[in-house]
Homo-oligomer: A and B are copies of this chain.
Amino acid sequence: MSVEKPSVSQELWTDFFAGSRLACARLISVVENSPQAIPEVLDRIIPRQKGGIRVGVTGPPGVGKSTVTAALARRAVQAGRKVGVLAVDPTSPFSGGAFLGDRVRMQRLSDDHQVFIRSMASREGHGGLSPATPYAADVLDAFGLDRIFIETVGVGQSELDVMSSADLVVLVLQPGTGDVIQALKAGIIEAADLFLVNKSDLQGTETLLDSLRFLMEIGGGPRRKSLPPVIQASALQDRGLDEAFAEIERLVSGLVASGLFLEKRRARLESEVRAAIGRELWDKYAALTNAGEVIPAVVGRLLERRRSPYPYIREAVSRVRILIDEERGPREEPQ
């Protein structure tokens, strides 16, 4: 890793730490568009983080995640919290009318500078969540926000990945659909800390609640000892949202008191360190061996001759020697 020209100007940093919302938006664009700048940004923002809580709001399309998120964000503002919302691609032409109406309400909160709203672009070619979303939450945390809602687009694997960086996950469901099964299969049921049954005035709410209880009983597994709280709500009619918000705040207090909040941060930091070192090892290896050209050529020949790649892999790896320069001694924090 060589020292390179910083991606973020001192002016932007000054504005950001002075509380400029425009600078905050620009910084999120940096982590979103320039992954190589993420270390530089984290170096500056981590010491300024105050432990803002990330609340994931997930659920299948059409259940009213956006309306729920907006309602929870409004309540957080009323409770005196500094609030941010990270939403996935709401500029998509496929978002329905309710979502648009909701955008208008959210826009008002945003215009009043009460809520920092940010859309995260989709991941290229996939349509899933942007991998920069957790870092955008880091930025909002350092910006001084203490409740950061992350609204996902569905209940797939990429949602699960982002949810694993949330401190608390609200799973929004609605009666009368097969969504529970889908959420179960995607592993979201197990990741959820709170079930919010939206549109609970619709038929089928009791059936949905029964299914949830049944799933918890038989499928909860070792990670889940008891059914998480279930809130019946109707975000459009503004019913049940006070209860949901109160429950979230209660869960947050519990997370902080139990140390689970810190434990989650610890696990995330650890996997970040491992992944970063792994990438650097690979880059060094690739530079030494010209792997970028060698591997495709080898693979072409293996394929032609119907050979397993593992003899080649074993051979390549057996020729690698790694030395650790101990002379320079352990300097964990050269800052």
Contacts and interface: CB of A to CB of B under 8 A. Distances in A.
Nearest to A43: B308
Contacts of A156: 154-159, 186
8 contacts: A42-B309, A127-B184, A153-B185, A157-B157, A277-B285, A302-B333, A305-B333, A307-B333
A203 interface: no
Contacts of A11: none
Contacts of A273: 295, 298-299, 309, 312-313
Contact of A46 (B125, B274, B288, B306): B306
A270 interface: yes
A266 B299 contact: yes
Interface string A113-150: 00000000010011110000000000000000000000
A322 B280 CA distance: 11
A308 B47 contact: yes
B319 A187 contact: no
A221 interface: yes
Each complex incorporates copies of this chain amounting to: 2
A187 B126 contact: yes
A315 B334 contact: yes
Contacts of A288: 322, 324
A317 interface: yes
A119 B65 CA distance: 34
Interface residues of A, number: 94
Contact of A312 (B160, B303, B332): B332
A333 B303 CA distance: 12
B314 A1 contact: yes
B322 A61 contact: no
Contact of A335 (B291, B311, B325): B311
A202 interface: no
Top 10 closest A-B pairs, CB basis?
A: A157-B157, A156-B156, A39-B310, A126-B187, A43-B308, A280-B317, A321-B323, A319-B325, A281-B281, A46-B308
Given A178-B61, A310-B42, A281 B274 contact: no
B269 A302 contact: yes
